[in-house]
């Protein structure tokens, strides 16, 4: 299990299959955060967890707590191979397939040479799914799961101008196909090439696909049905969703969730989803301080760890985001980033505030620079004007 240094102590990453935790596992995470770290738990944009402030003498205890709760890898040194994203609404069938894929990857010692950032996505056409994250390999079901479209080094096509799928394979070939793709990547990759885009940029997609010994058909016109990300919040048929303010939850609140619900799913939007929820569930989530309305300010703000937790950040983005939330105009989504890496947002966001000095941000809208070195108050006022004129 990977624990890396950060400005506020060790940062422990806990990978969840499909973002899912049982109540017992959630309580174990809360205990680990409290006993081993600062008590702060973050949901990542790949629907995993991060525990912050881990002390040097607590690593072994944290790892034991995670393994005892069934949150560790199934095979030795297999943790970094578990970067497989699912929809928060993935069915039991899709989750079972995901377990088969992950088991095959973790058993394959050669695949441990992959970068910890190498990322995959398995999609079954759910009404709520993250479609904008770039993946090294993605697969999306066709014909009720009889076949799967696949692609490399990007997100699955869901807009008219998106790059097409690389091909289509039979569902029976899914697990060996994924293993073969990863082995082919390692075979082609130069030592400095860690991601699929690096290899394909050099040899091309056609050459890579031709090296795979599978029956592959083409589907250049296929597009994945779009989704409405606002469906992650509020009460819907079969689930209730709520946003964690700035993607964080403390140990006490997570324990409260575990006491109320048997099953908790975290999402790539840094929110939580409660299956089989009700209007009563909605009230309970609101009482815990979570946002269930997609129009709420904290449902429209993303912020990185900031200078309190990351040495590369030039501002305390979490604190600045708290201030911005009180000033944010309606119908505006904002991403605050402490440096140009933009770790917190792997998807397009309408407005980005990029730190240039403590408390000062350059403002970008639709990736275009609009203003320089604004305070949070100046940025909020400018956004209010631009949205009033729209």
Three-state DSSP state, 280: helix
What's the pLDDT score for residue 76? 84
Alpha helices in the chain (DSSP H): 23-36, 59-68, 92-107, 174-188, 196-203, 205-210, 251-260, 279-287, 317-325, 376-389
Closest CA to 18 of 142, 101, 114, 111: 101
> What CATH number is given for 3-74+240-287 in this structure?
3.90.480.10
For residue 385, give both structure tokens. Answer: 């004007």
Examine domains 91-125+132-210 and 300-389 and report if their fold is the same. Answer: yes
Closest CA to 189 of 273, 247, 113, 287: 113
**Fold that domain 300-389 belongs to in CATH:** Sulfite Reductase Hemoprotein; domain 1 (3.30.413)
Whole-number Å distance between alpha carbons of 321 and 299 = 12
Tell me whether strands 351-357 and 334-337 are parallel, antiparallel or unpaired: parallel
Whole-number Å distance between alpha carbons of 177 and 183 = 10
Cβ–Cβ under 8 Å, residues 355 and 339:
yes
**Is CATH 3.30.413.10 the right assignment for the domain spanning 91-125+132-210?**
yes
What's the pLDDT score for residue 276? 83
Tell me what the pLDDT averaged over the chain comes to.
95
pLDDT of the chain along its 390 residues, tens only?
Answer: 789 999 999 999 999 999 999 999 999 999 999 999 999 999 999 999 999 999 999 999 999 999 999 999 999 889 999 999 999 999 999 999 999 999 999 999 999 999 999 999 999 999 999 999 999 999 999 999 999 999 999 999 999 999 999 999 999 999 999 999 999 999 999 999 999 999 999 999 999 999 998 999 999 999 999 999 999 999 999 999 999 999 999 999 999 999 999 999 999 999 999 998 777 999 999 999 999 999 999 999 999 999 999 999 999 999 999 999 999 999 899 999 999 988 888 777 899 999 999 999 999 999 899 999 999 999 999 999 987 765
pTM above 0.75, yes or no: yes
Query: What residue segments make up the domains of the chain, in order of their start?
Result: 3-74+240-287, 91-125+132-210, 300-389
Cβ–Cβ under 8 Å, residues 19 and 266:
yes
Per-residue burial over 190-212, b if 16 or more Cβ lie within 10 Å, else e, is: eeebbbbebbbeeeebeebbeeb
pLDDT in tens, 137-181: 999 999 999 999 999 999 999 999 999 999 999 999 999 999 999
pLDDT in tens, 73-122: 999 889 999 999 999 999 999 999 999 999 999 999 999 999 999 999 99
């Amino acid at each position: 299990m990977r624990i890396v240094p950060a400005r506020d102590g060790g940062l422990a990453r806990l990978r969840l299959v499909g973002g899912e935790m049982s109540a017992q596992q959630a309580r174990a995470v809360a205990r680990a955060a409290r006993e081993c770290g600062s008590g702060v738990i973050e949901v990542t944009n790949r629907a995993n967890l991060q525990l912050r402030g881990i002390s040097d003498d607590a690593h072994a205890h944290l790892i034991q707590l995670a393994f005892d709760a069934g949150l560790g890898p199934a095979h030795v040194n297999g943790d970094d191979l578990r970067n497989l994203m699912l929809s928060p609404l993935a069915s039991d069938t899709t989750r079972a397939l995901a377990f088969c894929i992950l088991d095959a990857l973790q058993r394959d010692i050669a695949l441990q040479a992959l970068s910890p950032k190498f990322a995959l996505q398995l999609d079954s056409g759910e009404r709520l799914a993250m479609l904008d994250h770039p993946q090294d390999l993605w697969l999306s079901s066709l014909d009720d799961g009889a076949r799967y479209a696949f692609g490399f080094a990007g997100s699955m096509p869901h807009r008219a101008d998106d790059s097409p799928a690389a091909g289509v394979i039979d569902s029976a070939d899914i697990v060996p196909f994924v293993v073969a793709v990863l082995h082919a990547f390692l075979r082609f990759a130069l030592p400095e090439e860690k991601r699929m885009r690096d290899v394909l940029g050099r040899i091309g997609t056609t050459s890579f696909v031709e090296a795979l010994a599978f029956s592959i058909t083409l589907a250049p016109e296929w597009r994945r049905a779009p989704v409405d990300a606002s469906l992650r919040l509020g009460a819907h048929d079969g689930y209730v969703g709520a946003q964690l303010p700035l993607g964080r939850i403390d140990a006490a609140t997570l324990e409260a969730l575990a006491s109320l619900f048997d099953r908790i799913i975290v999402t790539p939007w840094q929110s939580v989803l409660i299956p089989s929820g009700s209007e009563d569930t909605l009230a309970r989530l609101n009482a815990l301080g979570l946002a269930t309305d997609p129009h709420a300010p904290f449902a429209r703000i993303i912020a990185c760890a900031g200078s309190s937790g990351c040495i590369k950040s030039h501002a305390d983005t979490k604190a600045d985001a708290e201030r911005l939330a009180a000033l944010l105009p309606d119908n505006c989504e904002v991403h605050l980033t402490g440096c140009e890496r933009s770790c917190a947002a792997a998807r397009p966001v309408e407005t980005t505030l990029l730190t240039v000095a403590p408390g000062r941000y350059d403002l970008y809208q639709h990736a275009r620079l609009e203003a320089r070195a604004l305070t949070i108050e100046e940025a909020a006022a400018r956004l209010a004007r631009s949205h009033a004129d729209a």
